[in-house]
Chain A
């Protein structure tokens, strides 16, 4: 009986998995839709712009955190560190393979970190560019 239940749930799960390309692609697709509705001329995310955002220094956010690199280290391939000294796994997808797959987690940290660093939310374009850069790394 228990085995049967397991088999049924596995069978029920598979079509659902096949239907979407994967959670990371879903996150990007969602951002693309938003970017397009912001700007009709939107022509795709750009890793080079994402790199600029990652390295830029801002004076509009909280003084303790002028840049994404304040915590994520200056290279996406290196581990970072929070202000309290806790290690952060590298942001580059090639180094941390399970990144950007949980849409709630991605949104939560963009909201917090953009607010801390830039003093405002990031736009869908900025978020997509940032992810394009990290995925290319």
Chain B
């Protein structure tokens, strides 16, 4: 069953022109190993793993933290530099079509595809999840970069 699913998703990947191929081998991403990133970027939500977005996304985001998705998430220049270095060094190396610096993981095509199925919708209702941004509500191993835990 798991194998079937894997086969299907592998087959459908090129059709979706997804940038996610690099990590789709086991649906997991490397966990964050920087304390300052875990602390500063994990204060309001899960610290999203840098491998979900390309370098340009992180550079843009780190340049406008005082207006971060409708909130002030500003930091001192020293912390910004350290965090940006880590995010850029561990960013996705895939080519992103269209927007070269997407800011939301939840708006990437592979993501909307994976999460538009009935399973995710039902889970959202059952667990009373506020927003798809709350990855750890459904993926218990999200902090470790494990997303194939269902």
Write the residues of chain A forming the contact surface with B, with a CB cutoff of 8 angstroms. Answer: 62-65, 81-86, 108, 111-113, 115-116
Contacts and interface: CB of A to CB of B under 8 A. Distances in A.
Given A112-B73, A112-B74, 20 more contacts: A63-B70, A64-B71, A65-B70, A83-B44, A83-B71, A83-B131, A84-B44, A84-B46, A85-B45, A85-B129, A85-B133, A85-B137, A86-B45, A86-B46, A86-B134, A108-B75, A111-B72, A113-B72, A115-B74, A116-B72
A112 B79 CA distance: 15
The 10 A-B pairs at the shortest CB distance, nearest first, are namely: A84-B45, A85-B134, A85-B130, A64-B70, A115-B72, A112-B72, A82-B44, A84-B133, A116-B72, A116-B71
A52 to B, nearest CB: 22
Nearest to A62: B70
A82 B74 contact: no
A17 B11 CA distance: 64
A81 B133 CA distance: 13
Contacts of B131: 83-85
A113 B46 CA distance: 19
A2 to B, nearest CB: 25
Contact of A62 (B46, B71, B133): B71
Contacts of B74: 111-112, 115
7 contacts: A64-B71, A83-B44, A83-B131, A84-B44, A86-B46, A111-B74, A112-B71
Contacts, number: 47
A65 B71 contact: yes
Contacts of A62: 70-72
Nearest to B42: A86
Name the residue in B43, B71, B130, B137 with the highest tally of chain A Cβ atoms < 10 Å from its Cβ. Answer: B71
B114 interface: no
A85 B43 CA distance: 11
B66 interface: yes
Contacts of A81: 130
Contacts of B72: 62, 111-113, 115-116
Interface in B39-73: 43-46, 66, 70-73
B134 A84 contact: yes
